[in-house]
Structure 1
Amino acid sequence: MEKDRSGGRKKVTQVSELYCLESDITVKALPDPHILHDDRVLQSLLTIEDRFLPQCSYFQRVQKDIQPYMRRIVAGWMHEVCELERCCEDVFPLSINYLDRFLAVMPTRKSFLQLLAAVCMFLASKLKDSRPLSAEKLCMYTDNSITLQDLLNWELVVLGKLKWNMASVIPNDFIEHIIRRLPLPKDNVVTIRKHTLTFIALCATDDRLAMNPPSMIASGSMGAAVCGLKLEQVDPSLSQEGLTDLLAKITNTEVDCLRACQEQIERVLASSLQQGQQHRQENGISAGNKAMEQQDQSSTPTDVRDVNL
């Protein structure tokens, strides 16, 4: 409050002093250096990560109606939804972890696959995001092929089948621990982190990598990111062979296994780029048609609808 000329009081006009900042920008807490530099934290993650892997290769042992290509389609849809809603980068890999773990223990009809995927994103966003995905929006993204009640009912089913063990260890949990232990140029850390997250998301869409431990996915993705930037010119220890040895030592992984994982990640990337290029070439359309196509896909891609049939 402040006095006016008549000696009375008037309300402060500077609303900003009492304004509670609200915006679409999510403010994240800074990483705690005490946690990142404590080897016990990393060792704890490495010790418990296997608990959150799928129990088996479920396409051969559990699922009869769902095929690998269906999982890739629905994973692509999940990633698209997470991108459109600007979810925290942990939401997508965590939701894929829930999806794989559920499919490893529960036979599921393909007509329920998109519903399951929506529930997994719903749960992951509640755990990781400051602004979780709304149930209504998720139903909209399925082109209203599921109802709100379906989503809420299946939420309890998924929680029960996963025994409420939802705080899964995912590859993202290892990124900062690995970065802090590698001799990376400071100017490249942000770019390396961004590329690593992209590789991790790409790995999540490929069922052939689902059984690999999160630490191996994180290490392989980091290796692919660093090698792609050709940082061996800055530090010889960052050559492909030297980097693989460093990463294997940090995550207590066998060098040969890590090298094979990294090569598989690079093949997945090459295949994804090739498919994307072919898709653009085969679907060259005018600006008007493209706008219509985007409008049609704003709710759910056509190929996901086909899986539901």
Structure 2
Amino acid sequence: MAPQGATATAVPSTAAMTPANGLTATSPASTSIGSSSSSSSSASSFSSSSSSSSSNSTTTHFGLSELSCEEIIYEEVDNRFAEPDRHMITDDRVIQNLIRLERLTMPPCNYFAGVQQDIKPNMRKIVTTWMLEVCDEQKCEEQTFPLAVNFFDRFLCALPIDRYHLQLLGCCTLLLASKIRQCQPLTVDVLSAYTDHAVSPDQIRNWELLLISKLEWNINAVTAYDYVDHILERAKWGSDDARLREHAHTLIHVCNTETIFMQVEPSLLAVSCIASATRGLNVSTKLAVGYDLCRVTMHDLEKIDVIVKIIEEIVAREIADKQCQQQQQQAAQQQAQLAAAGSSCKEQFQQAPQKLSAASANSNSSGPPQQQQPETPTDVQFIYF
């Protein structure tokens, strides 16, 4: 029983909130989220059917077909990565399974010896280097490129192709690897643009199906990248320097472009790159590093030392080639500057007689010579290189 002068308000029921002819929504003025009157306006809008005629609030009825869902799409890409799972990294069964499964996804043969007749090792070097540059410019994840090279070699072991299709194969392997190991994969349009549109998007799509069929849908391969975190976690010197992991991944990428490491076990390649990175950064003693690496992966120390020496030779050669390219670029820039200066001086030298004749003609026609000003300064010397 309400006291005198008070107004009784009906409690909103389920039938009142959901009428038979559709949903009930309040007017825009009464549905402002976050305002102080939101609770009172919602209470007054959802009233019972018996008191809706006497209520002053306006209601709008609409069906389910008029509802819409808006999704906010952020243009910026989230480059944050999840933290490593401590249970998986510290579990010895994971690395044992990786070692057991790695041979199932390795290239079965050296395809330069018999399968491929039109492709040479230097062509593989060129295409894989191009693939690495694409991954660097697109800021792909570190695990994408090793998996793409694995697809590249396994496909060439299964099917002989033409040398003109080698870059097309590189595009397909990058596309497939990015779909497996990245949250946002590469697109066929981007890959086609990196080939200067020599490879069309339709060709990439068609060859992607061919690639998957020749790989027999075994596309979750084990690479050297998969071992790095597990090895560094089990070594006492693994977490001392944050640059060690980055250097190890860089060496793995460089080794994947070399034909000599095409049939090396991913676990052996991983421990060799880590050992080479520790020597370059002086993280720990050679004996301690070798003992830990052999204990984790069960590889011989002599075999690791052989791979490390080859890696150091490759790195030294790459550095020398890079310095040579920089010197050649500087020399080309200097020659271009000298050529531009020589052409400008030659033009000035050729235009000098015309200016002198025009000046003499103007002086003879306009008045006495002492009243004329020379157009060309007397201290300029026209030198032709």
TM class, shorter-length: 0.7 to 0.9
Q: Flag the 1:3–1:264 CA change in 2: closer, same or farther, 3 A.
A: same
- Structure 1 window deviating more from structure 2 (244-253 vs 158-167): it is 244-253
Give ranges in structure 1 of 5+ residues lacking alignment: 11-17, 233-238, 290-309
Which residue of 255, 259, 267 corresponds with 2:305? 259
Give ranges in structure 2 of 5+ residues lacking alignment: 1-32, 43-70, 337-385
What is the RMSD computed on CA atoms of the aligned residues?
2.2
1:39-81 deviations in Å (ceiling 9; x for gaps) = 1111000001011111111111211111111100001100010
Residue 2 of structure 1 is matched in structure 2 by 34
Determine whether 1:209 maps to 2:261: yes
Alignment of 1:138-153 (within 5 A): 138-153=191-206
Residue 165 of structure 2 is matched in structure 1 by 112
Alignment of 1:3-18 (within 5 A): 3-4=35-36
1:9-50 deviations in Å (ceiling 9; x for gaps) = 79xxxxxxx977662232222111111111111100000101
Q: Flag the 1:20–1:140 CA change in 2: closer, same or farther, 3 A.
A: closer
Secondary structure (helix, strand or coil) at the match of 1:211 reads: coil
**What one-letter code is carried by the residue in structure 2 that aligns with 1:120?**
T
Residue 307 of structure 1 is matched in structure 2 by none
Residue 303 of structure 1 is matched in structure 2 by none
**What one-letter code is carried by the residue in structure 2 that aligns with 1:79?**
L
1:181-208 deviations in Å (ceiling 9; x for gaps) = 11116441x2101000100000011111
Assess if the C-alpha contact under 8 Å between 2:272 and 2:305 holds in 1. yes
Assess if the C-alpha contact under 8 Å between 1:2 and 1:9 holds in 2. no
Alignment of 1:278-289 (within 5 A): 278-284=324-330, 285-286=332-333
* TM-score in terms of structure 1 length: 0.84
Which residue of 86, 96, 101 corresponds with 2:139? 86
Cα distance in structure 2, aligned partners of 1:106 and 1:7: 70
Note the C-alpha offset of 1:128: 0.6
Which residue of 50, 54, 60 corresponds with 2:103? 50
Which residue of 84, 92, 97 corresponds with 1:31? 84
Note the C-alpha offset of 1:120: 0.3
Question: Which is helix-richer, 1 or 2?
Answer: 1
Cα distance in structure 2, aligned partners of 1:20 and 1:155: 29
* TM-score in terms of structure 2 length: 0.68
Secondary structure (helix, strand or coil) at the match of 2:288 reads: helix
Moved over 4 A (4+): 4-10, 18-22
**What one-letter code is carried by the residue in structure 2 that aligns with 1:104?**
C
Q: Flag the 1:231–1:140 CA change in 2: closer, same or farther, 3 A.
A: same
Assess if the C-alpha contact under 8 Å between 2:232 and 2:239 holds in 1. no
Q: Flag the 1:63–1:129 CA change in 2: closer, same or farther, 3 A.
A: same
Assess if the C-alpha contact under 8 Å between 1:3 and 1:9 holds in 2. no
Residue 318 of structure 2 is matched in structure 1 by 272
- Structure 1 window deviating more from structure 2 (195-204 vs 266-275): it is 266-275
Residue 129 of structure 1 is matched in structure 2 by 182
Cα distance in structure 2, aligned partners of 1:279 and 1:214: 31
- Structure 1 window deviating more from structure 2 (213-222 vs 25-34): it is 25-34
1:229-278 deviations in Å (ceiling 9; x for gaps) = 1123xxxxxx2233123212211112211111111111111111111111
Q: Which has the higher contact order (CA 8 A, sep 6+)?
A: 1
1:212-241 deviations in Å (ceiling 9; x for gaps) = 011111101111111111123xxxxxx223
1:121-155 deviations in Å (ceiling 9; x for gaps) = 00000001111000011111111111111111111
How many pairs were matched up? 274
Determine whether 1:231 maps to 2:283: yes
Assess if the C-alpha contact under 8 Å between 1:79 and 1:92 holds in 2. yes
Cα distance in structure 2, aligned partners of 1:195 and 1:128: 20
**What one-letter code is carried by the residue in structure 2 that aligns with 1:108?**
I
Determine whether 1:157 maps to 2:210: yes
